[in-house]
Amino acid sequence: MDKRYHPQILTRDLILQPKISSDWLRCQRMLFASRDHLDYSPGSSGGHGFNDWWPRFCKSHPEYFALQPDGTRGTYPGPGVDNPKGDQYWAKKLCKSNPAVWQQWVTDALADLERNPRMNYPSAGASDGHNSGVCVCPNCKAWDRLDAEPFTFYWKGKQEEYVYLSDRYVTFWNHLARLLKEKLPERDDVLVQAMAYGPSTTPPLGDGLEQNTMLAFVSSFPFATPDSRRTNKERWLGWSKKAPNMFYRPNWWYFGGGVWCLPEVALQDLADDFHFLGQNGCMGLFIDGATEAWCTAAPMYYLLAQLTWNCQADEKAILKDYYQRGFGPAATAVEEYWQVWEEARRQVLAATDFRHGSSNRLKVFHLLRNVYSGSVLAQTDACLKRAETAVADSELFRQRVAFVRAGWTFTDLMLKSADAMDTVRKTSGTDKEAVNKSLACWQQIKDIVASHPNSLEMGRLMRMVQSKGYVYMGNMENYFGPPSQAFQDALDASLPVETAGKGKEWELVYDSDFSNPAELKKWQVTAGAWEINAGALCCQGKADNRLLFRQSVPDYQRIEFTAQVLPEAGAPASDLSVFLQVAAEGDSLQTGYFFQFGGMGNTLHRIIRKGSILWEEQQPKIRIVAGQKHQIVVENDEGLLRLNVDGKDVRVLR
């Protein structure tokens, strides 16, 4: 008897191209995509759309871009027209009501289809940086439903609580779909790829999508809290009534340690959510965030591949087969090993201060350490010792258990390095014993990976911990290690620190009591909303608020100011922080010094130089007191850095 099976999930792919897993992924039918892996090229499926429009059209067609509250177009976020490929050029928003934008997209889509006849879903997905710089022109806003759920947006110098824009986006995508259908009436297989992302995550209140559309639904379940999983699956159900075709475009392994190759095990949640997707019309899968950390995630990868082939498969039968065939007499011990990690992940997500998002990565870092460093490592170690005893007489099974042990040892070393890095940060690298402890841990990690070449992909891991610019959940070098070069090069603590510039006087460049509202013109607002009111320079809102002194000040700098955080119900005081010697454009954290006082909800002080953390203190004794006026002094005196609050040195270092 012949049997044919047609899987429900037809398109399957990863954004990050595999380095050590290609053969396995092909055998498991996980690289079954019709796009030749053109993940970031214009018109590809799964990715954000319009990534290259700012460099292409910012000078010739500024009308294509979103009108900003200040009357400019496309100026926020990201670079200006003088540097069109600067950081975040891909995050520019469009004027979606402009018919010329529709025509340009169709022209591009036809060209992409001509170059790649196997392309199915030319992308019109929402631009990245979803909550910043959206169009405020009357025509675009006329498409919005003011009875939609509230959503907060940001523009240069302004934030506003408005509404979700799903109806605006649907109207836009439908215009594109109708135009594309006119050009390709016979191509029923070509669908406009829309994207439920950020302000378009909620289902529309009005019309649904045209038949020749494919909606990419962006979320993170099952790698999310129970509340987030529930909310986003409800939104999927709502969209399924408005969208004829849908695929799942998840951000996975980001928020529970997997992004740093630590165990992030969610076997039952993964199975439950795949059953849900299969029962509710999912036609494809396009994964962002999948790392290649086989020694800490192998059963997750295996179960994912099996459920992608058959969403309704019995996960218990799949895993029983995996453990028995993979580990023989050690099957029970290895299964218990992964179950301990699965429960540990639930504990992390259940913490009251757990939050999703890259801005909360340090909270995740500390939660993981608190949960994993205690009984979890001991329990999992005991499981592996039982497994090692059970397979002592079988070389094949012994090697497989040793592979799992490599993942345990890697995790243990990452946490030990993190402990050493606490001291490294506190001493700004002058405690050489702590620096060397972290370096030794990382050498052992490299040795483990060399002994087990398919255990994890070191390049991806190092990018996440050592990245200097903005990388989502990255910039963890001075938390997990290895210590930055600045810490490695720091002088030994036994050497005295002398004050530089002794006997020199500071030259006053600017002084103001802000009694004149015109003083605001001397400052460049780069984020948030600022005003001069009652003799004070004020900002409002809980979001990032920044401004720069417009006058160029060469040489070393010192700033003295009085600052106050007004009490606000339900909101902690946070961030009376200062930048010194930064460039007028670009990422200030990467170009100068950052003296952070009271960051992360008044729990963190730091000094950062060009993206590298020189010193950090968590849960400090000296903190912002809401309602109290603080006298703050920061200075770079010929390389001697000082943060002083209310007459007390919080930190002095070279």
| Predicted confidence (pLDDT) per residue in 544-575, tens digit | 778 788 887 777 888 888 888 887 755 677 88
Pairing of strands 523-527, 282-287: unpaired
Residue 313 has a pLDDT of 96
Contact between residue 528 and residue 159 where contact means Cβ atoms under 8 Å apart:
yes
Residue 41 has a pLDDT of 32
Tokens of 280: 């509710």
Contact between residue 471 and residue 463 where contact means Cβ atoms under 8 Å apart:
yes
Q: How far apart are CA 209 and CA 241, in angstroms?
A: 10
Q: How far apart are CA 297 and CA 342, in angstroms?
A: 11
Residue 499 has a pLDDT of 45
Closest residue by Cα to residue 38 from 128, 126, 116, 125: 116
The mean pLDDT value for 305-317 works out to 95
Residue 293 has a pLDDT of 93
pLDDT tens figures, 580-612? 887 766 667 777 888 899 887 788 888 888 777
Residues 6+ apart with CB under 8 A from 575: 596, 597, 598, 599
- Does the structure show a pLDDT above 90 at 1? no
The mean pLDDT value for 301-327 works out to 96
Residue 501 has a pLDDT of 44
CATH of domain 517-653: 2.60.120.560
Residues 6+ apart with CB under 8 A from 352: none
Residue 33 has a pLDDT of 43
| Helix 377-390 × helix 395-426 angle, to 10° | 160
Q: How far apart are CA 478 and CA 463, in angstroms?
A: 13
Choose the most confident range, by mean pLDDT, from 412-416, 454-458, 490-494: 412-416
Contact between residue 360 and residue 254 where contact means Cβ atoms under 8 Å apart:
no
Residue intervals of the chain classified under CATH 2.60.120.560 are 517-653
The mean pLDDT value for 422-429 works out to 89
pLDDT tens figures, 361-398? 888 999 999 999 889 999 999 999 999 999 999 999 99
Contact between residue 607 and residue 596 where contact means Cβ atoms under 8 Å apart:
yes
pLDDT tens figures, 484-510? 888 888 766 544 444 444 445 788 888
The DSSP-derived string for 213-266 is EEEEEEE-TTSS-HHHHHHHHHHHHHHHTT-SSEEEEEB-SSSSSGGGTS----
Give one word for 524, left, alpha or beta, with left for phi > 0 and alpha for psi -120 to 50.
Answer: beta
Please report, for residues 344, 382, 456, 593, the alpha-carbon distance to residue 337 in angstroms, rounded to integers and kept in the order given: 11, 8, 19, 45
Contact between residue 297 and residue 456 where contact means Cβ atoms under 8 Å apart:
no
pLDDT tens figures, 342-356? 999 999 999 988 888
- Does the structure show a pLDDT above 80 at 302? yes
Longest dimension (CA), the chain: 95
Identify the residue whose tokens are 């934008």. 101
Identify the residue whose tokens are 């998002």. 357
Q: How far apart are CA 442 and CA 131, in angstroms?
A: 38
- pLDDT band at 271; cut points 50, 70, 90: very high
Closest residue by Cα to residue 271 from 330, 228, 314, 210: 314
- pLDDT band at 31; cut points 50, 70, 90: low
First to last CA, the chain: 78
557: phi then psi, degrees, rounded to nearest 5: -140, 155
**Helix or strand run (H / E) with residue 307:** helix 294-309
Q: Which residues pair with 557 in a beta bridge?
A: 636
pLDDT tens figures, 70-87? 999 999 998 899 889 888
Mean pLDDT over the full length of the chain: 88
Contact between residue 130 and residue 89 where contact means Cβ atoms under 8 Å apart:
no
Residue 500 has a pLDDT of 41
Residue 16 has a pLDDT of 66
Contact between residue 574 and residue 624 where contact means Cβ atoms under 8 Å apart:
yes
pLDDT tens figures, 152-185? 999 988 889 999 999 999 999 999 999 999 999 9
Contact between residue 208 and residue 243 where contact means Cβ atoms under 8 Å apart:
yes
Lowest-pLDDT range, 261-275, 351-365, 406-420?
Answer: 351-365
Closest residue by Cα to residue 305 from 594, 24, 629, 605: 24
Residues 6+ apart with CB under 8 A from 481: 417, 418, 420, 421, 424, 438, 439, 441, 442, 465
Residue 37 has a pLDDT of 41
- pLDDT band at 103; cut points 50, 70, 90: very high
